[in-house]
């Protein structure tokens, strides 16, 4: 009789420990996933060669709550015209700047550089001839894919408002040969 009670007591003890473990795991993992970091799988060729379709990234979702994105940073964001889709692009223009593209160069005009300056695009291997000028508002960013000929970006649908930016990649976990911290940084 005692052994049955002991078995039942052991079962209850183990069940209680499993339940507590699940509560703790959900209490830590869920908020972490919602507010701090999230996995993202690259789909498409718009960021070649920096990121290829199938790359598995971990996205830092918390940093842009405390600071603004910087030029040349790769960001993950909700596509403004269909927020159920997430995109990955590089920030080219910052709020209140004018982005001027002519042929293969991009110039940025802002208060600090009223004559403009040419941005470094050494990461580009698939260049295309560009011709546009866009002035950004106070919360707008101009984003483009690194593979300019294959990218659906701010050239097509306009500036990206900050509210759509989810975060930046902090880890690349796949492919294994490309594992690294801060992928996409120049």
Single pTM value for the model: 0.82
**Annotation marks residue 154 as catalytic:** no
- When pLDDT is averaged across residues 27-39 and rounded to a whole number, the result is 69
* From 46, 61, 151, 154, the catalytic residue: 46
- When pLDDT is averaged across residues 158-174 and rounded to a whole number, the result is 94
**Annotation marks residue 84 as catalytic:** no
Q: Which residues contact 141 (CB under 8 A, 6 or more apart)?
A: 69, 75, 91, 93, 94, 95, 154, 159, 160, 161, 162, 165
pLDDT at residue 118 greater than cutoff 80: yes
* From 61, 89, 151, 154, the catalytic residue: 89
Pairing mode of beta strands 74-78, 180-181: unpaired
- When pLDDT is averaged across residues 23-50 and rounded to a whole number, the result is 79
State the Cα–Cα distance between residues 164 and 140, nearest whole angstrom. Answer: 10
Q: Where are the domains of the chain?
A: 1-37, 42-181
Domain 42-181 falls in which CATH fold?
Umud Fragment, subunit A (2.10.109)
pLDDT at residue 144 greater than cutoff 90: yes
pLDDT at residue 30 greater than cutoff 90: no
pLDDT band at 10 (very low <50, low <70, confident <90, very high): confident
């Amino acid at each position: 009789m005692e052994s049955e009670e002991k078995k039942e007591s052991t079962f209850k003890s183990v069940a209680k420990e499993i339940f507590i473990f699940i509560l703790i795991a959900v209490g830590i993992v869920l908020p972490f996933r919602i507010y701090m970091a999230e996995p993202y799988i690259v789909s498409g060729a718009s960021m070649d060669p920096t990121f290829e379709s199938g790359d598995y990234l971990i996205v830092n979702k918390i940093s842009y709550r405390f600071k603004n994105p910087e030029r040349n940073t790769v960001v993950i964001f909700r596509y403004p015209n269909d927020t159920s889709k997430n995109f990955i692009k590089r920030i080219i223009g910052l709020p209140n700047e004018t982005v001027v593209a002519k042929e293969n160069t991009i110039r940025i005009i802002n208060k600090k550089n009223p004559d403009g300056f040419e941005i470094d695009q050494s990461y580009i291997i698939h260049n295309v001839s560009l011709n546009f000028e866009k002035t950004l508002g106070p919360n707008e960013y101009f984003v483009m894919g690194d593979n300019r000929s294959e990218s659906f970006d701010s050239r097509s649908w306009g500036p990206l408002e900050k509210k759509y930016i989810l975060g930046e990649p902090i880890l690349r976990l796949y492919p294994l040969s490309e594992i690294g911290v801060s992928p996409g940084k120049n």
